[in-house]
Amino acid sequence: MDGIVERKKHYVEVISKTDAEGRTRPLVVVWDDGTRYDIDRVLDCRQAHSLRTGGTGMRYTVRIGGRSTFLYFEGPRWFVEAKVPPTYPD
C-alpha cells in the first residue's frame, strides 16, 4: 500500500482558552515527550466525525508550523489522527 498512511487516535494534552461565552480556543498541543506545538491559527471549528480513526466531537482545523491538521475535542479529552509508522516484514 505505497503512499497510504495509516492513522490512529492519539490522545494529547492541549492548552486552551475558554472565553466568557463558553467558546474554547486551543493554543498549544503538547506531545507525550513534552514537545510543544504552538497553534498558529484556528481555521475552522465544527461538530464532526473522525473518518480515519473513529470518534466524534468538535473538530478544529488548526495551522501548526504553516501546515493544517485536525484536532478533536472528544470531551473531556483531545485527540489527533497520528500517523502509524509502516511495518516491513523481516
What is the overall mean pLDDT for the chain? 92
Of the pLDDT bands very low, low, confident and very high (cuts 50, 70, 90), residue 3 is low
Instruction: Give the predicted TM-score (pTM) of the model.
Output: 0.87
Question: Nearest-CA neighbor of 46 among 61, 62, 59, 35?
Answer: 59
Of the pLDDT bands very low, low, confident and very high (cuts 50, 70, 90), residue 1 is very low
Question: Nearest-CA neighbor of 79 among 22, 18, 11, 23?
Answer: 11
- pLDDT at 84 exceeding the cut of 90: no
Query: Per 3-state DSSP, what percentage of the chain is helix, strand, and coil (rounded to 5)?
Result: 0, 60, 40
How much is the pLDDT for 78? 98
CA distance 50 to 17: 23
- Count the Cβ atoms, other than its own, within 10 Å of residue 52: 14
Of the pLDDT bands very low, low, confident and very high (cuts 50, 70, 90), residue 4 is low
DSSP-derived letter for residue 85 is: P
